[in-house]
Amino acid sequence: MAFAAVVVVAMVGGPWAVAAGPAYPVAIVVDKAGVIYLADRDLPGIWRWEGRRLSLVFQGSKKFRTPLNAVRCLALDREGRLLAGDSATCDVYRVDAQGRAQPLTAQGKPYGQIGIPMGIAVDAEGRLLVSDLELHRIVRVPKEGGAVEPFAAVQAPRGLFLDAKNQLWVISGRRLLRIAASGEPPTTIVDDGVFQYPHAVAVTDDGTAYVVDGYAKAVWKIAPGQKAEKWANGEPFDNPVGIAIHAGRWFVVDPRAGALFELDEAGKPTRRSWTATK
């Protein structure tokens, strides 16, 4: 398994420490330079993967109700700063260059205003759109944090993606929805009965959506005006849960396979590996 390595890392504010590689990666985001960030639910924490070099950005505590103890989703803001959603503290955090996690909705309280944040997207004004699985809603968070505002009522929302036309794509239960603007009813792109357990969605500039489906062990492709088709499925996937697209490459994270896969234009997966660094 690709995630069996032991990596020596520098802990923020402390001495050198030994940490296992990603134990159970559940989300992925890739920045403009191609640097990969992985949310590790079991560590708990966030890894940075540049080329073949792996390092730890943030390591949370095993103690419940502490920051990023239950990290579930990642995104980047308009300035390229890392964002992470955490169900242990019901909040979204911005992680600074020093590896400090700043809560965005707690407003001085122990916990934030989002029940279970499962997906994050950032609009053109830098505001965050966050899916709340517990309260069946999508909320909008000011760019620098503060009180949340309602954006849409959606049943069981998970993965989010804001496309080139500023349309919000939403995994809702076993459906794929698209919302043109706040307050407008969602359009159903893929209805119930096709996916088995979809987690996340990513969309190319031409409007083609790709959905990772853990139970189906598949990545679905939904071209504009077309039915959903399995683009990549079966071995080596076991439970694909996160997806990102960068520079004509698709990246899929699968915690049960213990791997990050890079897919080509035909959907052929290649397992990625790294080397340990200090």
The answer to whether position 277 is within a domain reads no
pTM greater than the 0.75 cutoff: yes
The answer to whether position 66 is within a domain reads yes
The model's pLDDT over 178-235, given as tens digits with 9 standing for 90+, comes to 999 888 999 999 999 999 999 999 999 999 999 999 999 999 999 999 999 999 999 9
Domain count of the fold of the chain? 1
- Residue 111 CA to residue 91 CA, distance in Å, equals 7
- Containing structural domain, residue 53: 2-272
The answer to whether position 278 is within a domain reads no
The model's pLDDT over 231-264, given as tens digits with 9 standing for 90+, comes to 999 999 999 999 999 999 999 999 999 999 999 9
Domain of residue 32, CATH code:
2.120.10.30
